[in-house]
Amino acid sequence: MDTGEPDKNRTAAATETEWWRGAVIYQIYPRSFLDSNGDGVGDLKGVLAGLDHVASLGVDAIWLSPFFTSPMDDFGYDVADYRSVDPVFGDLADFDAVIEKAHGLGVKVIIDQVYSHTSDRHAWFAESRQNRANPKADWYVWADPKPDGAPPNNWQSVFGGGAWEWDARRRQYYLHNFLTSQPDLNLHNREVQDALLDVARFWLDRGVDGFRLDALNFAMHDPRLRDNPPAPQGTRAPTRPFDYQQHIYNRSHPDIPAFLERIRDVANQYKDIFTVAEVVGDAPLAEMKAFTANGRRLSSAYDFTFLYADRLSHDLVRRAVEAWRGDAGEGWPSWAFSNHDAPRAVSRWADETKRDEAAKLHAMLLMALRGNAFLYQGEELGLPQGDVPFERLQDPEAIANWPATLGRDGARTPMPWKRAAPNAGFSTGDPWLPVDPRHAALSVDAQEKDAGSMLHFVRALIRLRGSSAALKTGEINFIDDAGGALAFYRRAGDDVALCVFNLGDVPVSWEPSDAKKLSRAISAGIEAGDRSLPKMLPPYAGYIALPGP
């Protein structure tokens, strides 16, 4: 009998065998990773060439951002064909080569799946918009205008303006939570779900090890099309119409978890598949818990708690991490400090003069948290947010909100491989986004030669995490009074790790009661010397200590 409750014995066994629990996953944004043919855009052959570098970090998997056929209005998140590779990135044979090499290096491959919307150039939408009686007429979200011709309700688009676009062929509006060229799929329609599950099977059959599900809580809408209520006034002035509403009805429908159970059923037909949800919103925790509940839905979920935070604080870390206590039936969290959708953390959380120290401290904290760690390309180099002048901006959100926000282009600038090469070794042609001159000095080849570099530090961190059951999958217990430091223990049985961080810009003093039993395994911002625990931590300094002399 299925009671809906998790099998505790099965859950315990799964913790021992699931490769993804506590994994370090490296995100590759293919457009900006490495260009193999000189057209200024990174591609799958570039991913193939860069895999040795990624594998050398010791990561468990890569996550590939979209490489599917697309008009690139939203740089691949507007999919025109779920089962093909856009020519700018290569072809399916190139993708298969990436899979083969990654697996040969012991690295799993996760790819994006965009199920909430497609491009308006997708064949499904081309058919759906023809009339109201075709086989795919109900595959997208269509609605009649109000009597005065106005849109059906007040929903707003993430990228600015209303979320409805008029289509003269059907004499109806279609919903687009993002760009007007990204019509929303109607996942209340079982046929649409079936089609998307077939897409998942296509890529699983090609050997992928899992999926990152984009904008998942936008996947279903309120069929009654009720107006969203206004958002309460906050301390920060909204920068777009979208921010003036509580998004109760255009996302987060209670039927989404049932669709996720169907995804899990497909994943269970394959071996060791990892699925992670991106959950957007101001209060994402309930959805993250629902999307990962009882081992019957997704493996994990992450939100924008750290990605959109202006500063890193003790309270922010504790609130985020303590929400995942490991209760029965609870899913497994994932954490990201930087990615392609958010300005790089080191530029949000530290002054430029403290950039190098902060980058190491942030990496150490990320690797110490309970959950999976997503490492964004260039984060292992300590890259700051790239400087992109207005005339070179590509991202529609960055252009629409300039100069009120840093935008996403600065996090998507090309990866620097060779300090002295044109475009830092990214491309022999004109890059689609400019290379920030500061990044060239932080290139892979320059850091390889420096034993004290961020690159070597991150490798050591990942090695340490992989060798410690406490750091990889252990429970987390925060220390309430650590003299102004952020401190916690990670424990897994007899294995223990003490993690201590000074996130501020003034020194802090604190010594744990068990200091004599612990030795520094790795530290940042502290003189190397012996392995004893320091009584004083300088600004942006920290350490991870393990039992031993």
Marked catalytic residue, from 278, 380, 395, 436:
278
Task: Give the class (CATH, top level) of 476-547.
Answer: mainly beta
What are the DSSP calls for 142-196, one per residue?
A: EEPPPTTS--SS--B-TTSSBSEEEETTTTEEEE-SS-TTSPBB-TTSHHHHHHH
Q: Where in the chain is the domain with CATH 2.60.40.1180?
A: 476-547
Q: Where in the chain is the domain with CATH 3.20.20.80?
A: 8-119+189-461
| b (16+ CB within 10 A) / e for 273-304 | bbbbbbbbbeebbebbbbbbbbbbbbbbbbbb
Q: Residue 521: its pLDDT value, please?
A: 95
The answer to whether the Cα torsion of 201, 203, 208, 214 is positive or negative is: negative
- pLDDT tens per residue across all 549 residues of the chain: 233 343 333 333 344 579 999 999 999 999 999 999 999 999 999 999 999 999 999 999 999 999 999 999 999 999 999 999 999 999 999 999 999 999 999 999 999 999 999 999 999 999 999 999 999 999 999 999 999 999 999 999 999 899 999 999 999 999 999 999 999 999 999 999 999 999 999 999 999 999 999 999 999 999 999 999 999 887 567 878 999 999 999 999 999 999 999 999 999 999 999 999 999 988 899 999 999 999 999 999 999 999 999 999 999 999 999 999 999 999 999 999 999 999 999 999 999 999 999 999 999 999 999 999 999 999 999 999 999 999 999 988 778 777 776 679 999 999 999 999 999 999 999 999 999 999 999 999 999 999 999 999 999 999 999 999 999 999 999 999 999 999 999 999 999 999 999 999 999 999 999 888 999 999 999 988 788 999 999 999 999 999 987
Q: Residue 16: its pLDDT value, please?
A: 53
Q: Residue 235: its pLDDT value, please?
A: 58
Q: Residue 299: its pLDDT value, please?
A: 98
* CATH classification for the domain delimited by 8-119+189-461, as one of 3.40.640.10, 1.25.40.10, 3.20.20.80, 1.10.3720.10: 3.20.20.80
Reply yes or no on whether 287 is catalytic.
no
Reply yes or no on whether 278 is catalytic.
yes
Strands (E), 3-48: 24-28
Marked catalytic residue, from 73, 214, 303, 436:
214
Q: What pTM did the predictor assign? A: 0.95
Q: Residue 399: its pLDDT value, please?
A: 81
What are the DSSP calls for 228-256, one per residue?
A: PPBPPP-SS--SSGGGGB--SSSS--TTH
Q: Residue 55: its pLDDT value, please?
A: 98
